[in-house]
Amino acid sequence: MKKIHIILLVFVAGSIALLISLLNTGSTYETIAEAKAMPGKFVHVAVRLDKTKPVEFDAKKDPNYLSFYAVGVENPDQAMKVVYRNGEIPNLMISERLVLKGKYENETFECKDVQTKCPSKYKEGMKPTEKSIDQSSITNPAATTSEATKY
């Protein structure tokens, strides 16, 4: 067997493996309407928390059940109920964006995993000493994604 044959074989095997893993289990970024249009398909959806509706979580009843309502980031008229069965989500209430990963099934979005994007912490660290001036204006809504970098 020539070396070049083995090399080719290895590369072919590798690229097939890569293709299979991409095709078989691939997912896509979708909007709420698109997620609803394809129930049962695992998708990523960028949403905002609907703060007008209740967030349900009671660790004493079931520490794994959390549900809330979400609206689309670009299409606020699209809405859905989200169920997350893995406990409390930190920073949910202050998040400005959520990336939900899961499937739309039986009128709810079964969320397997969630990423919260929070407003920049830059402005919130400010604690001015004067109380007389409106402090709320210190917090700047101009926001980037979370400042936490690993390096």
Partner 1 sequence: MEYIGEHLLPGQLGHLFIVLSLVASLIATFSYFKSAQSKNDIDAAYWKKLARIAFITEVISVFAIFSILFYIISNHLFEYKYAWQHSSRSLEVKYLLACFWEGQEGSFLLWSIWHCVLGLILIKTSKKWEAPVMTVVSLMQFALATMIAGIYFFGWKMGTNPFILLRDSGVLDNAPALHINGDVAMGLRQDYMLSIKDGNDLNPLLQNYWMVIHPPVLFMGFASTIVPFAFVIAGLWKKNFGEWTKPALPWALFSAAVFGVGIMMGAMWAYESLTFGGYWAWDPVENASLVPWLILISGIHTLLIYKHSGHSLRATNLFLILTFGFVLYSTFLTRSGILGETSVHAFTDLGMNMQLLVFLLMFVLPALVLLIIRYKEIPTIHKEENTSSREFWMFIGSLVFFLSALVIIGKTSIPVVNKILGTKIAPPEKAEFSYNQIMVFISIIIAVLTAVTQYLKYKNTSTKVFLKKILIPFVIAAIIATLVLVVGKVNYEKETFGFMVAIWMAVACSIFTIVANAAYIWLGLKGKLKLSGGSISHVGFGMVLLGILISSSNKEVLSNNIGGIPAPLDKNEDPRENLTLVKGLTVDMGKYSLTYEGDSSHPKKQLSYYKVHFKSKDGKEEFVLTPNSFVNYKGNEGLMSNPDARHYWNHDVFTYITSISNPDKTKDTTTFRPKDLKPGDTLFYSSGFIIYKNLNKKEDLPVDLFGKDGSLYEANLKVHSKTGSLYSIAPKLAMAKGNEMAVPDTVLAESIVLQLEKVNPDKSITLGIKESNAVMDYITLKAYKFPYIRLLWFGVVITAIGIIISMVRRIRLNRENVSQS
CA 80, CA 103: separation in Å to the nearest integer?
12
- Return the SS3 of 61: coil
- Among 47-55, 67-75, 76-84, 139-147, which window interacts with partner 1 (CB under 8 A)? 139-147
- Between 43 and 80, CB nearer to partner 1: 43
Which tokens hold the place of 115?
């990423």
Binding to partner 1 in span 89-118, by CB under 8 A = 89-94, 99, 101, 112, 115, 117-118
Regarding 149 and contact with partner 1 (CB under 8 A), the answer is: yes
- Between 38 and 121, CB nearer to partner 1: 121
Question: Would you say 108 and 83 are in contact if contact means Cβ atoms under 8 Å apart?
Answer: yes
CA 117, CA 115: separation in Å to the nearest integer?
7
Regarding 130 and contact with partner 1 (CB under 8 A), the answer is: yes
Burial class (CB in 10 A: 0-12, 13-18, 19+), 51: exposed
Question: Would you say 104 and 31 are in contact if contact means Cβ atoms under 8 Å apart?
Answer: no
Regarding 62 and contact with partner 1 (CB under 8 A), the answer is: yes
Q: 150: which DSSP letter? A: -
Q: Which of 59, 75, 76, 105 binds partner 1 (CB under 8 A)?
A: 59
Task: Kindly write out the interface string for residues 69-88 of this chain, putting x where it contacts partner 1 by CB under 8 A and - elsewhere.
Answer: ----------------xxxx
Regarding 48 and contact with partner 1 (CB under 8 A), the answer is: no
Q: Could you tell me the smallest distance in angstroms from the CB atom of residue 22 to partner 1?
A: 8
